[in-house]
Amino acid sequence: MAEIVPADKALDRALALLGAGEVVAIPTETVYGLAGDATSGGAVARIYEAKGRPRFNPLIAHVCDLAMAERIGVFDPLSRRLAELFWPGPLTLVVPLKADAGIHPLATAGLDTIALRMPRGFGGKLIAALGRPLAAPSANTSGHISSTSAGAVAADLGSRIKLVVDGGATPVGVESTIVKVHDGKLKLLRPGGVAAEEIEAAIGLKLERGAKGIQAPGMMASHYAPNAAMRLRAVSVDQGEALLAFGATRAKGAENAAAVRNLSPSGDLREAATNLFSFMLELDRAGASVIAVEPIPMEGLGEAINDRLARAAAPRDMEAAGE
Ligand code: TXA
Ligand code: MG
């Protein structure tokens, strides 16, 4: 079983494991990541193995500063500006991969682009101390709910990894926003922890949502799947259903729900994002076969929340390649 060590005591042990090509679960501001040396084929293979993740689904390389990022990827002026504005933080930039970047091809699934992100907190310190980028997908079994606490990581992956670094509950709660500059336009590949409106306001450019379907290779329809079925935009609760609530007004029949969690009683979308995955897990554990979900507005972090809920509710036979 994995050892859970508080972040302020874990740096040396994490460094030793990473240096030996092992994987370590670490806190980031978005969700917990399952980290390994991005330059080591063995370490990257261990990440895919521990998650049961299809190898055609590339990983984000995490860096500790812009200099490290620019040794790996080619930054056009807009991507650089975004990095300067939002790093460290919950924004991932997809840029062309440099030929001599040193990233193991397994981490990029052979693509000629790379997803880069500079995380806040423990991850940044760890990467600086290691002196190499860390490949890190969310620390969950492929297709499961992303982990927002060390306990959730240990419950899901504990038998397959040696160390979970405990940095407490992750403050943002949903994964990073992924964007890519293409032909001078900015494409949103995955809504996430930075609201699209915030990016648009900062750079004065509209984000393109692009065609429907798979945006990032790992964005399969069914993902984040709890055991229970999810019923979205519920205005009433049926007999035996659990309820994932939002805001001050309740769905009809809420008083009879098998269990209730309110993402944000005051209707704050940031608070709702922070609570999303842990409340989904808690309702799932309560044992109801259906989780009814009240409507969540499509603004700010609501876009990422609705994206994750839609994937959690998607038919499971589409679960070909979760993250
Ligand atoms: O907040 C986050 O982004 C977390 C923390 C741990 O950093 N990480 C995370 O990683 O969510 P993961 O592997 O669960 O999701 C990364 C997504 C996948 O959908 C993958 O397909 C996509 O990024 N991706 C990776 N490289 C890409 C590339 N070169 N082009 C387009 N999409 C890419
Ligand atoms: Mg994931």
Q: How far apart are CA 214 and CA 321, in angstroms?
A: 11
Q: Which amino acid is at 105?
A: P
Question: Which numbered atom of ligand 1 lies nearest the CA of 111?
Answer: 29
Residues 6+ apart with CB under 8 A from 45: 106
How confident is residue 317, by pLDDT bands cut at 50, 70 and 90? low
In a domain, 319, yes or no: no
Nearest CA to ligand 1 atom 3: 176
In a domain, 121, yes or no: yes
Let me know whether 197 and 287 are in one domain.
no
Q: Is the CB of 178 under 6 A from ligand 1?
A: yes
Question: Which numbered atom of ligand 1 lies nearest the CA of 32?
Answer: 6
Q: How far apart are CA 161 and CA 6, in angstroms?
A: 16
Please give the average per-residue pLDDT across 299-306, as a whole number: 97
In a domain, 135, yes or no: yes
According to the model, what pLDDT value does residue 321 have? Answer: 44
According to the model, what pLDDT value does residue 247 have? Answer: 98
5 Cα to the center of ligand 1, angstroms: 25
pLDDT at 66 over 50: yes
In a domain, 214, yes or no: no
Q: What angle do CA 283, 286, 288 make, to 5 degrees?
A: 85
In a domain, 217, yes or no: no
In a domain, 221, yes or no: no
How confident is residue 11, by pLDDT bands cut at 50, 70 and 90? very high
Question: Which numbered atom of ligand 1 lies nearest the CA of 114?
Answer: 29
Question: Which numbered atom of ligand 1 lies nearest the CA of 192?
Answer: 1
Q: Give the lowest-confidence range in 214-223, 266-275, 289-298.
A: 214-223
Q: Is the CB of 121 under 6 A from ligand 1?
A: no
Q: Give the helix, strand, coil percentages of the chain, each rounded to 5.
A: 30, 20, 50
- Edge to edge, what strands does the sheet with 260-262 contain? 229-231, 290-293, 242-245, 260-262
According to the model, what pLDDT value does residue 215 have? Answer: 56
Q: How far apart are CA 58 and CA 38, in angstroms?
A: 11
Q: How is 242-305 classified by DSSP, letter by letter?
A: EEEE-SSSPPBTGGG-S-EEES-TT--HHHHHHHHHHHHHHHHHTT-SEEEE----SSTTHHHH
Domain count, the chain: 2
316 Cα to the center of ligand 2, angstroms: 16
CA 244, 165, 134, 138: dihedral to nearest 10 degrees?
-20
Let me know whether 197 and 260 are in one domain.
no
According to the model, what pLDDT value does residue 17 have? Answer: 98
Whether the pTM exceeds 0.85: the reply is yes
Let me know whether 194 and 56 are in one domain.
yes
Give backbone dihedrals phi and psi of 258, rounded to 5 degrees, phi first: -65, -30
In a domain, 213, yes or no: no
Let me know whether 198 and 301 are in one domain.
no
Range of the domain at 193: 3-208
In a domain, 223, yes or no: no
According to the model, what pLDDT value does residue 203 have? Answer: 95
CATH number for position 90: 3.90.870.10
Q: Give the lowest-confidence range in 36-40, 78-82, 213-217, 234-238.
A: 213-217
How many helices (H) and strands (E) are present in the chain, helices listed first? 10, 15
Q: Is the CB of 26 under 6 A from ligand 1?
A: no
Let me know whether 12 and 95 are in one domain.
yes
Q: Is the CB of 189 under 6 A from ligand 1?
A: yes
Let me know whether 202 and 264 are in one domain.
no
34 Cα to the center of ligand 2, angstroms: 10
133 Cα to the center of ligand 1, angstroms: 14
Q: Is the CB of 219 under 6 A from ligand 1?
A: yes
Let me know whether 180 and 49 are in one domain.
yes
Tens of pLDDT, residues 182-209: 988 999 999 999 999 999 999 999 999 8
Let me know whether 233 and 198 are in one domain.
no
**Greater confidence, 191 or 218?**
191
Q: How far apart are CA 192 and CA 302, in angstroms?
A: 9
Q: How is 160-219 classified by DSSP, letter by letter?
A: T-SEEEE--S-SS-SPPEEEEEETTEEEEEE--SS-HHHHHHHHT-PEE--SSS-SSTT-
Nearest CA to ligand 1 atom 21: 218
Q: Is the CB of 113 under 6 A from ligand 1?
A: yes
Please give the average per-residue pLDDT across 62-78, as a whole number: 98
Give backbone dihedrals phi and psi of 203, rounded to 5 degrees, phi first: -110, -5
Q: Is the CB of 115 under 6 A from ligand 1?
A: yes
User: Over the chain, what is the mean pLDDT?
Assistant: 93
According to the model, what pLDDT value does residue 292 have? Answer: 98
Let me know whether 247 and 166 are in one domain.
no
Name the helix (H) or strand (E) containing 80.
helix 77-86
According to the model, what pLDDT value does residue 211 have? Answer: 56
Let me know whether 8 and 70 are in one domain.
yes
Nearest CA to ligand 1 atom 15: 137
139 Cα to the center of ligand 1, angstroms: 12
- Edge to edge, what strands does the sheet with 91-96 contain? 3-6, 163-166, 24-26, 33-37, 134-135, 60-62, 113-117, 91-96, 177-182, 185-190, 207-208
